[in-house]
Amino acid sequence: MSLNKFMHQRNRYKNKKPSFLDLALKYPEFRAHTTQDESGKVFLDFKNAEALRALTTCLLKEDFGLSMELPSDRLVPTLPLRLNYIHWLEDIVGKEENKWGIDIGTGASCIYPVLAASMNKWHFLATEADDENFVYANKNVSANNLQDYINVLQVTSEDILVAPLQSFTQTNKFDFCMCNPPFFADHLEAQAITNTRSAQRPEAGSVSTASPQECIAQGGEVGFIRHMIEESTVLRDKIRVYTSMVGKKSSLQHLKEDLKHHKVAKYSTTEFCQGKTMRWGIAWTYDPTVHFPKSSFEARKEKPPLQYIIPRGAGGVDYKVHEIAAYLQSLLESIKFHCYQGKKAKSYTSITLTAVENTWCHQRRFRRQQKQQLMSLQTYAVKPINSEPSPQKAEVITAESSPKKAEVITAESSPKKAEVITAESSPKKAEVITAESSPQKAEIMSESIPLIVENRSAESNHSQVTQKRVLETADEHITSEPKRSRSDSVSDNATSACVNGSAKINTTNFSPSKKNDSNEPESQELNKSLTDSSPTEYILKCVLRLKLVDEQVQLELEWLGGESRELMHQVLTFIKNKLTVPVGKC
């Protein structure tokens, strides 16, 4: 897919591609690298480094009146990409003359300073560590009579910003810095051997012309730009805006985290689109008055909020905005969403949702496991015990000590936890003694775990009552609505045990229609609601809105940020599943 339509609107190549035929007729050095088919169309081999070099030098001469000499073993700059970067800087700092910028690693062509100085009369400090690049950069500046605008400074490979500025005192403050950093950390990554490039992905349409010293640096582009960020914390407002190109989209997230860590005033990213190639730009500043333009590529991807009409009867609450909002908030908090109450009106409310982990997927699998555990309880809740008069045969099973496996507690191994009277000590009747009936004889009831006691007698009424009570309790745990208050439930995390130790149910019970039973004063609750303590690092952040539209409650989810917009779609699906109205209750 061609990305030309997403080029910067002022890029001269957006709507007018270079005519290879005209260039071939006018420049013999370009014509030598072209071919022509029977219809007269001219083609250029983009996998030939010499052809790319001829194309760039001819375009600079034809479209900008610039003379450029490029060595055969150094990077050949592509003009549409360089123009996109310069136009982006114009949007940030303005197009006025006499802007001061720093070009970190200017290269043999010194392309950014030469173009910007000729177009806008901008002044540059251009740094370069490679000896050959330094020589050619000075040649190209002199060949175009731009010595009054561009000062090329040779530095070491470790010098990024601080050292060059200490030796350059022509101005006290720069408007911006720019950089096209080495993209790769080593030769293997540069040859796409150790990177994440898919085997099915087609090869690049053009050859790479960069030398190893131009495309490889310790830590790759992330390491290089991190060095820039660290030095910017020292220089701060001595450079108004710090910028760099980024070659891989995966690098952006790491760099954003670094910028957040260093607490810069603002940062922004953009896309540089041209042909079939995309690069990215990242910018940050310590000046809060700086305005970063919105990416036209991202703007084209903006989508309206997700919408859903809440069905009547959903959640078992009144069909009112705030009752439904309370239910949804309790539901989302139960799966570890951070909820911050925003604007609230009579028939409108908004809640900012922040998630640091994905807890809403695989809910169907979780429910299936719960169903299997309930069936296991119903099958194995009560099991007769062998009538042999041995205290080891009378077994009490609980999940008190291990939620993953029910522990067997016998009167012999743990007389403190259970005492069982068998037929040997009482021939008339095998009696079961629990903590409820005799606290002094048995201490086996945990705070929130149902107890199942088995005895030998199948005719015992007590055994039948115990089985019925356990099954009713398990049913209540499975079918209960979200967010039951602590006083209404046996436990927030009810765990039922069965004889073979293989079934475990761990559910959280909530009831949205009941208010929190906390003793905290209302004023404290109000103060808490006014403080947004949302996590600063997250995988998803969005706004949930509920409003009354034509007597119907409409839900909206608007994307704010995170790893992927797809996560927001998953959350909406989760909410829809929870709001499904049973048949006959509409």
Strand 552-562 with 306-309, pairing = antiparallel
Name the band, by pLDDT with cuts 50, 70 and 90, for residue 450.
very low
Closest CA to 425 of 386, 385, 463, 390: 390
- Residue 235 sits at φ, ψ, to 5 deg, of -80, -35
pLDDT at 16: 87
Residue 342, judged by CB atoms within 10 A of its CB (0-12, 13-18, 19+), counts as: middle
Q: What share of the chain is helix, strand, coil (3-state, %, to 5)?
A: 35, 20, 45
Count of other CB atoms within 10 angstroms of residue 511: 18
Report which of residues 87 and 427 the model is more confident about: 87
> How far, in Å, CA of 279 to CA of 140, rounded?
26
Quote the mean pLDDT of the chain.
75
Residue 562 backbone zone (phi > 0: left; psi -120 to 50: alpha; other: beta):
left
Three-state secondary structure call for residue 187? helix
Report which of residues 457 and 112 the model is more confident about: 112
pLDDT digits 0-9 by tens, 545-564 = 999 998 999 999 998 888 88
> How far, in Å, CA of 242 to CA of 134, rounded?
23
> How far, in Å, CA of 584 to CA of 240, rounded?
65
The residue with tokens 């009167």 is 411
Which of 158-162, 180-184, 424-428, 446-450: highest mean pLDDT? 158-162
> How far, in Å, CA of 220 to CA of 192, rounded?
13
> How far, in Å, CA of 538 to CA of 520, rounded?
29
Q: What value does the mean pLDDT take over residues 68-89?
A: 92
pLDDT at 559: 86
Report which of residues 416 and 552 the model is more confident about: 552
Q: Looking at the predicted structure, is the pLDDT value of residue 136 above 60?
A: yes
Closest CA to 398 of 470, 456, 333: 470
CB-facing half-sphere around the CA of 388: CA atoms within 13 A: 6
Binding residue positions for S-adenosyl-L-methionine: 82, 105, 128, 180
Name the band, by pLDDT with cuts 50, 70 and 90, for residue 314.
confident
**What residue type is 435 in one-letter code?**
A
Q: What's the CA dihedral at 94, 97, 102, 105 to 10 degrees?
A: 100
Lowest-pLDDT choice from 168-182, 253-267, 283-297, 388-402: 388-402
**Angle (CA) 472 473 476, round 5°:** 85
Per the DSSP assignment, residues forming a β-bridge with 548 are 553
* 552-562, strands of its sheet edge to edge: 306-309, 552-562, 540-549, 348-355, 338-345
Q: Looking at the predicted structure, is the pLDDT value of residue 439 above 70?
A: no
Tokens of 14: 């957006």
Name the band, by pLDDT with cuts 50, 70 and 90, for residue 410.
very low
Q: What percent of the chain has pLDDT over 90?
A: 44
Q: What percent of the chain has pLDDT over 70?
A: 64
pLDDT at 210: 61
> How far, in Å, CA of 126 to CA of 252, rounded?
25
pLDDT digits 0-9 by tens, 503-545 = 333 433 333 434 444 444 444 444 444 556 788 888 899 999 9
Binding residue positions: 82, 105, 128, 180
DSSP readout, 126-154?
EEE--HHHHHHHHHHHHHTT-TTTEEEEE
pLDDT at 350: 95
Q: Looking at the predicted structure, is the pLDDT value of residue 357 above 50?
A: yes
Q: What value does the mean pLDDT take over residues 63-90?
A: 93
pLDDT at 473: 46
> How far, in Å, CA of 69 to CA of 138, rounded?
11
Name the band, by pLDDT with cuts 50, 70 and 90, for residue 436.
very low
Name the band, by pLDDT with cuts 50, 70 and 90, for residue 170.
low
pLDDT digits 0-9 by tens, 34-49 = 999 888 899 998 888 8
Name the band, by pLDDT with cuts 50, 70 and 90, for residue 584.
low
pLDDT at 183: 64
- Residue 184 sits at φ, ψ, to 5 deg, of -115, 155
pLDDT at 503: 37
> Distance between the two ends of the chain, CA-based, in angstroms?
48
pLDDT digits 0-9 by tens, 322-355 = 999 999 999 999 999 999 999 999 999 999 999 9
The residue with tokens 């109000």 is 526
Q: Looking at the predicted structure, is the pLDDT value of residue 191 above 80?
A: no
